[in-house]
Structure 1
Amino acid sequence: MSHRLPVALVTAPLALALAGCNTVADLPGQRIGSATLTLANGQPAGSAQIVAAGSRVTLAVGLTGIAPGAHGIHLHTVGACNGPDFASAGGHLNPLGRHHGSLAADGKHEGDLPNVVIQSGGSGALTADLSGTPEEVRAWLFDTDGASIVVHADPDDYKTDPSGNSGARIACGVIKPA
């Protein structure tokens, strides 16, 4: 049985990343990586794109098949998504050794992202800038064990170290280089 994502779901994250561009110079010039996310039962859950424009790096994610509401979403240290709990993805990507959350005094983990809001129909999208340069982000994501993107059952509280109290891991995708 084939599990193909709708074209709109695959292209929506890139369109969101492009929406913030004000001039042609702001358009992403480099595709850094991408991921296809799946739920614990193996069903497709969405896609993510990481693109760069100059020194700015943007992550754009489109999700489907997830319960409505706010969900924590993070970049994780290991490029493995073994279900059903996705524990194989490791902890949050934190190459600079910071505390968790945007409310942390010393800055957040590189893997900390804003919550993604899933609408009543079960789909949602998120676009967020990453704090590193394109070269730093590539080094952080594509080290010897790779990286992944994980969606959690509950919203991130932006302060509880190390995980934001965001609950179980419900979807995961290994980030692959472009």
Structure 2
Amino acid sequence: MNPRFTLSILSSLVAAVALAGCASYPAGNRAAAKLEPTRGSTTTGTVTFVQTGGGVQVSGEIRGLKPGAEHGFHIHEKGDCSSGDGMSTGGHFNPGGKAHGHHGMGDHHTGDLPSLKADANGVATFHFESSTIRVGGTDNNIVGRGLIVHRDPDDYKTQPTGNAGPRLACAVIAAQ
């Protein structure tokens, strides 16, 4: 067999495998979550998720938070906000079975996101990138999962919740 022909076939196969891997997380997939208050809360907001290839751009604005305070922010297992207190979303989304921790710093639940910091008016506006979640595909897909804003800051150590307290707002992450 001609070595150039063999090399050409091999190069084509490598390119096809690489493209197939990227197809699992196509750039441009979008999802959104409309946070509604849990019973006794006034917290609301919207969050968007945009797949950018290897990462997801997460941005949003959340209102009705304690002014100047930090709040835990997590993706939960189930897309179910029916309980009134947000508990129907289950625990943090954790397909890898890892310990709770700080987003972007070592091992952590897939659903562990950076805490929100409310301004003096009780509004948290944010934009960050996550390399652990996906919009679509199969691995770490967040579509159909719950999104929760907690009353208290995440301590990033208490297992399995981060001691973030009651759930102030709940949403189901939906593909757009």
Distance 2:114 2:138 in 1: 18
Counterpart code for 2:62? L
Counterpart position of 1:91: 91
Distance 2:84 2:136 in 1: 33
> Following TM superposition, where does structure 1 have runs of at least 4 consecutive aligned residues deviating by more than 3 angstroms?
41-44, 103-106, 132-139
- Larger Rg computed on CA atoms: 2
Counterpart position of 2:48: 49
2:88 counterpart SS class: helix
Structure 1 unaligned spans of 5+: 1-27
Distance 2:110 2:91 in 1: 12
Structure 2 unaligned spans of 5+: 1-25
1:151 counterpart SS class: strand
Counterpart position of 1:79: 79
Q: CA deviation at 1:91?
A: 0.4
More moved, 87-96 vs 49-58: 49-58
Q: Kindly report which structure 2 residues correspond to 1:5-44, keeping only aligned pairs within 5 A, or say none.
A: 29-41=27-39
Identical columns (%): 34
Q: Kindly report which structure 2 residues correspond to 1:24-173, keeping only aligned pairs within 5 A, or say none.
A: 29-41=27-39, 45-68=44-67, 69-102=69-102, 107-132=107-132, 134-136=135-137, 140-142=141-143, 146-173=144-171
Contact 2:146 2:172 in 1 (8 A): yes
Distance 1:116 1:141 in 2: 19
* Aligned-CA RMSD value: 2.6
- TM-score normalised by structure 1 residue count: 0.73
2:141 counterpart SS class: helix
What is the aligned length?
A: 148
